[in-house]
């Protein structure tokens, strides 16, 4: 029997169980990913509370140290997968407060002073996102590196460059591979924009309107390692969902780029092309057709790209008619960005594995060079002999039957300017990838340092 006078739940809830379960939704599961960050936010808040100049302190410095230690223990339990969020906790915030109250008595009941779950979840999500974006950036660079390695390994093997999917001009395996690598690495610009938006602190805005206590918001910004504070508390509450949307749009654009790579791989590994070969163990069979080795893994990348775009659309739709201030709809932003991250990060890792396993069939690549592929090069040779370009173009177009066998390898070697077949500078990529990795590492270390200082883990 519940004794409601002595065993009040944190918000003293009298909510109907069906309504409670509908409103709580997936939070007890999703919030597991936020637990460490929630502890970090609370440790910063309580530290700041203990430093406030008041006639009578709410939390003393010694008490704040106790709270930080207890939060560190909760964070460690969460990292081991041992921290439980119950449905009647509703979310991680109340679960942590419950546990701290169980462990520290009245002191645990003080940690929520001057806070709301609104600024609490907003800060958790931003810390979590910063950490996840950095990992996603690492995985993005790893995939770009895998493609560059593949390009370097198969060097100057000629590949038909296509426009409209039709044979167009001489290209090479390396040009194709590093072209995709560069496209993928450039997506980090969008991830960085999402990171910058996540890297501002909403803490201290409480329910979105501040509190009559001298909260030092700059202090928690420094303790948590944010680059600045969201100044207006109302803005801090409305910003919930905005960085989730920015992240999802970066992720969906990245997924679209990955999907295009997958699509090229599907086409170029078809028996009709056979430029590339997928390892047998990366292909899946048919229950009826014994001869089948299908690229299901690549097809699913296309479908996942569509799903992440759907998540982005869901998150934009959720926000567009939202009135100012906190609304519970915002809770649903959480699974959207978390799902988007999970899908994208898994896809990045899987694609790197597929690329590492790819083979090249040089014979098929060369055999695909029909005479037409050299047409532009032939016209340009006429230009070198003094013919105006348009006349050279018509001369070749009017007598396509005169185009004969040309050497694909020579054509690949003939193009030397920046970024063409023989003008790809591997050092440019190596330097860019190293710079991105360095930036990621520095920020991961800074975040880990703040976490260690606040929680000891």
Using CB under 6 A, list all residues that contact ligand ARG.
27, 91, 117-118, 121, 326, 328, 330-331, 334
Q: What's phi and psi for 276, nearest 5 deg?
A: -115, 150
Compare residues 41 and 158 and give the one whose CB is closer to ligand ARG: 41
Cα–Cα distance between 351 and 343 in angstroms, integer? 12
Catalytic pick from 21, 286, 303, 370? 286
Cα–Cα distance between 229 and 214 in angstroms, integer? 16
What distances in angstroms separate CA 366 from CA 158, 175, 369, 405, 414, one per listed residue?
6, 15, 6, 12, 16
CB of 343 to ligand ARG, least distance (A): 21
DSSP symbol at 59: S
Cβ–Cβ contacts within 10 Å for residue 328, how many? 8
CB of 26 to ligand ARG, least distance (A): 10
Compare residues 2 and 328 and give the one whose CB is closer to ligand ARG: 328
CB of 31 to ligand ARG, least distance (A): 7
Decide if 164 is catalytic: yes
Rg of the chain (C-alpha set) = 29
Burial class (CB in 10 A: 0-12, 13-18, 19+), 451: buried
Compare residues 121 and 254 and give the one whose CB is closer to ligand ARG: 121
Cα–Cα distance between 348 and 353 in angstroms, integer? 9
CB of 42 to ligand ARG, least distance (A): 14
Q: What's phi and psi for 137, nearest 5 deg?
A: -65, -40
CB of 256 to ligand ARG, least distance (A): 28
Cβ–Cβ contacts within 10 Å for residue 23, how many? 12
Decide if 399 is catalytic: no
Compare residues 217 and 334 and give the one whose CB is closer to ligand ARG: 334
Compare residues 181 and 238 and give the one whose CB is closer to ligand ARG: 238
Could you tell me which of 167, 158, 168 has the C-alpha nearest to residue 408?
158
Q: Which residues are catalytic?
A: 164, 286
């Amino acid at each position: 029997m519940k004794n409601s006078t002595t065993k009040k739940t944190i918000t003293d809830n009298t909510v109907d169980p069906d309504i409670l379960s509908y409103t709580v939704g997936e939070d007890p599961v999703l919030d597991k990913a936020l637990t460490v960050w929630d502890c970090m936010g609370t440790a910063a808040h309580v530290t700041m509370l203990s430093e406030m100049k008041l006639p009578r302190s709410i939390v003393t410095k010694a008490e704040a140290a106790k709270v930080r230690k207890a939060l560190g223990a909760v964070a460690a339990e969460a990292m081991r997968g041992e921290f439980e969020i119950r449905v009647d906790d509703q979310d991680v915030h109340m679960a942590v407060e419950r546990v701290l109250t169980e462990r520290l008595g009245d002191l645990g009941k003080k940690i929520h002073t001057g806070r709301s779950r609104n600024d609490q979840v907003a800060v958790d999500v931003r810390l979590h996102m910063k950490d996840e974006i950095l990992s996603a950036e690492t995985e993005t660079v790893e995939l770009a590196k895998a493609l560059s390695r593949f390009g370097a390994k198969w060097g100057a093997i000629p590949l038909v460059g296509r426009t409209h999917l039709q044979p167009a001009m001489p290209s090479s395996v390396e040009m194709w591979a590093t072209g995709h690598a560069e496209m993928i690495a450039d997506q980090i610009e969008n991830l960085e924009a999402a990171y910058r938006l996540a890297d501002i602190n909403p803490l201290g805005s409480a329910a979105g309107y501040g509190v009559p206590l001298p909260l030092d918001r700059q202090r928690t910004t420094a303790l948590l390692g944010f680059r600045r504070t969201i100044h207006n508390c109302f803005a801090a509450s409305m910003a919930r969902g905005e960085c989730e949307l920015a992240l999802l749009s970066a992720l969906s654009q990245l997924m679209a780029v990955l999907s295009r790579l997958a699509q090229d791989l599907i086409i170029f590994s078809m028996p009709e092309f056979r430029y590339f070969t997928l390892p047998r163990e990366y292909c899946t069979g048919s229950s009826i057709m014994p001869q089948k080795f299908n690229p299901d893994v690549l097809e699913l990348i296309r479908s996942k790209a569509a799903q992440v775009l759907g998540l982005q659309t869901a998150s934009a739709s959720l926000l567009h008619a939202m009135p100012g201030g906190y609304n519970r709809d915002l809770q649903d932003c959480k699974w959207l960005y978390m799902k988007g991250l999970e899908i994208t990060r898994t896809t990045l890792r899987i694609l790197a594995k597929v690329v590492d396993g790819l083979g090249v069939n040089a014979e098929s690549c060369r055999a695909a060079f029909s005479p037409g592929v050299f047409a532009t090069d032939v016209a340009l040779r006429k230009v070198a002999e003094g013919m105006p370009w348009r006349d050279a173009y018509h001369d070749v177009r009017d007598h396509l039957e005169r185009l004969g066998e040309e050497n694909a390898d020579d054509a690949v070697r003939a193009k030397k300017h920046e970024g063409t077949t023989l003008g790809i500078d591997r050092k440019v990529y190596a330097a860019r990838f190293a710079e991105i990795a360095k930036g990621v590492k520095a920020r991961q270390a800074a975040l880990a340092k703040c976490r260690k200082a606040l929680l000891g883990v």
